[in-house]
Amino acid sequence: MTRVLVVDDEPAIVRALVINLRARSYEVDAAHDGAGALRTAAARHPDVVVLDLGLPDMDGVEVIRGLRGWTRVPILVLSARHASEEKVQALDAGADDYVTKPFGMDELLARLRAAVRRAEPVGDGGDTVVETATFTVDLAAKKVNRDGKDVRLTPTEWHLLEVLVRGGGRLVAQKQLLREVWGPSYGTETNYLRVYMAQLRRKLEADPSHPKHFITEPGMGYRFEK
Amino acid sequence: MTRVLVVDDEPAIVRALVINLRARSYEVDAAHDGAGALRTAAARHPDVVVLDLGLPDMDGVEVIRGLRGWTRVPILVLSARHASEEKVQALDAGADDYVTKPFGMDELLARLRAAVRRAEPVGDGGDTVVETATFTVDLAAKKVNRDGKDVRLTPTEWHLLEVLVRGGGRLVAQKQLLREVWGPSYGTETNYLRVYMAQLRRKLEADPSHPKHFITEPGMGYRFEK
DNA sequence: CACCGGCGTCAGGGTCGCGTCAAGGACGCT
DNA sequence: AGCGTCCTTGACGCGACCCTGACGCCGGTG
């Protein structure tokens, strides 16, 4: 199920969007200002954000920057402004698309589909299955297999595993892990990492006390190794 | 260098795009019909395609499908048609964006940047690997390899190495090293440098007492040499 | 030849980060 | 309402890392 975050201060527009999206079985959250948008995004981790630029509390571009500080979620900007200047600013701040009001619902939905499709994890040429000596991760199917049996992971465990595996052998900083999994305000709670890394290792490592795949780089972060 | 494929049957538009893109140091190929577009895309592997829908030889949506059959390259559609129907078809066929003519060049370029930015993999920016006779440093992955084995570095060691390597053979002053690694208030603690340079040399130099890569410039600073 | 500043080396001690365990509490399901 | 799952939070021990001081070496200088 695709989760959409709709941000607009005009209730009529939010209503219209929510109805249309729910009818197409999207899961929809809504926020009516910039602060709420950032908060909700952090809490709910939407798959795509529809963002009105004319918010009461903060500049739309600031909202984009706030999101881009910790996530690459597609952002589809809505705006009444037709000026080229505005569009360029929003796009360069990290928006993925820009639609001017009034907009056609069909078109908006098509652009939304395009944004979501693009973000799908099917990497260029690479496939979504990563195999190690002791277990196999299928990122698309969201499944982990070990000794022929599926391993049950909690949502948080999954998210953490996902970020690590996507890192592809690169070191992932603690701060980045925390922000991507728990949200932008959790940059320092390294104890979460310790607890959940222990969980992952217990479930996936052959010898959890001597991890071969989830490597700690003290003081810096963690690394996933095949 | 980013490679763009421009597809349009109107020479004036192609000319305008080519000039503007080249001026921003994109590498540009051009095609004037669908068949040429597919052929050129296959031959040149562009990083992004700007595609006019009104081509003489085939339907624009067919071109999109032809591309999508084998590549996920971003496709930015240009069209004179404002109809919602057209946009939806193009986007659902696999286009990434849809701009109606006449278009503002600034906006088009911004959308182009957005499309390219989105497509590039995380952090895989430039050439982050530096190789020497005895070891290899991967700045993005934060990995050092020596004789096929990974070398474990502490955060401080890493930071120091990073600053030196980024210096790219130039002399880096002691004060600068101290400030960048330990913080702005540490301009004089040169003993830190001596200790950590010794660590780095012990871990990375073939003969730590006769360093070939971490060169001391007495009284001035240190230099990293390939 | 004695002195001195800069550098490399070594070893010890305090501190911090990491792994582990367990309990509390929120939430959803039956 | 009861239950289980999952997330959060705190405490604790241990090992690693960072700092620090002492010492020897070397080249330059008076």
With cut-offs at 50, 70 and 90, classify the pLDDT of residue A128: confident
Average pLDDT over residues A201-220: 95
- The mean pLDDT of chain A is 92
Question: Domain tally for chain A?
Answer: 2
- Amino acid identity of residue B71, one-letter, is T
Whether residue A82 is found in the same domain as residue A168: no
Strands A149-151 and A3-7: unpaired
CB contact under 8 A, A110 and B122: no
Residue A125: predicted pLDDT: 38
Size of chain A in residues: 226
User: Is residue B124 domain-resident?
Assistant: no
Whether residue A14 is found in the same domain as residue A50: yes
- Taking the CA atoms of residue A12, residue A13, residue A19 and residue A24 in that order, the dihedral angle to the nearest 10 degrees is 170
Residue B207: predicted pLDDT: 93
Whether residue A138 is found in the same domain as residue A164: yes
Residue pair A170/A226 in contact by the 8 Å Cβ criterion: no
Per-residue tokens: A24? 């197409």
Give residue B79's domain range.
Answer: 3-119
B45, B107, B152: best to mutate for the A interface, most A CBs within 10 A: B107
User: Is residue A62 domain-resident?
Assistant: yes
Residue ranges of chain A whose CB lies within 8 Å of a chain B CB: 72, 84-85, 87-88, 91-92, 94-98, 104, 106-107, 109-111, 113-114, 117-118, 122-124, 166, 169-171, 217-220
| Nearest partner of B73 among B90, B105, B57, B50, judged by Cα | B50
Whether residue A111 is found in the same domain as residue A195: no
User: Is residue B87 domain-resident?
Assistant: yes
Whether residue B52 is found in the same domain as residue B103: yes
Residue A122: predicted pLDDT: 52
Please give the helix or strand (H or E) that residue B224 lies within, else none.
strand B221-224
User: Is residue A124 domain-resident?
Assistant: no
Residue pair B172/B223 in contact by the 8 Å Cβ criterion: yes
Whether residue A54 is found in the same domain as residue A147: no
pLDDT digits (tens, 9 = 90+) for A96-120: 999 999 999 999 999 999 999 988 7
Per-residue tokens: A198? 């222990």
Name the pTM for this structure: 0.79
Whether residue A86 is found in the same domain as residue A17: yes
User: Is residue A59 domain-resident?
Assistant: yes
> Which of B74, B85, B155 is closest, CB to CB, to A219?
B155
Tens-digit pLDDT string for chain B (226 aa) = 899 999 999 999 999 999 999 999 999 999 999 999 999 999 999 999 999 999 999 999 999 999 999 999 999 999 998 899 999 999 999 999 999 989 999 999 999 999 999 887 655 445 789 999 999 999 999 999 999 999 999 999 999 999 999 998 999 999 999 999 999 999 889 999 999 999 999 999 999 999 999 999 999 999 999 8
Per-residue tokens: A64? 């984009």
Please give the helix or strand (H or E) that residue A217 lies within, else none.
strand A214-217
Residue A127: predicted pLDDT: 65
Whether residue B15 is found in the same domain as residue B101: yes
Domain boundary among A60, A91, A119: A119
* CATH code at position A191: 1.10.10.10
Å from A136 to nearest chain B CA? 22
User: Is residue B75 domain-resident?
Assistant: yes
* CATH code at position B60: 3.40.50.2300
Domain boundary among B71, B97, B119: B119
CB contact under 8 A, B141 and A170: yes
Whether residue A18 is found in the same domain as residue A45: yes
Residue B108: predicted pLDDT: 97
Whether residue A110 is found in the same domain as residue A170: no
Q: Is residue A124's pLDDT more than 70?
A: no
Residue B104: predicted pLDDT: 94
Q: Is residue A55's pLDDT more than 70?
A: yes
Residue pair B55/B9 in contact by the 8 Å Cβ criterion: yes
Whether residue B9 is found in the same domain as residue B91: yes
Whether residue B60 is found in the same domain as residue B78: yes
Chain B residues touching A171 at Cβ < 8 A: 141-143
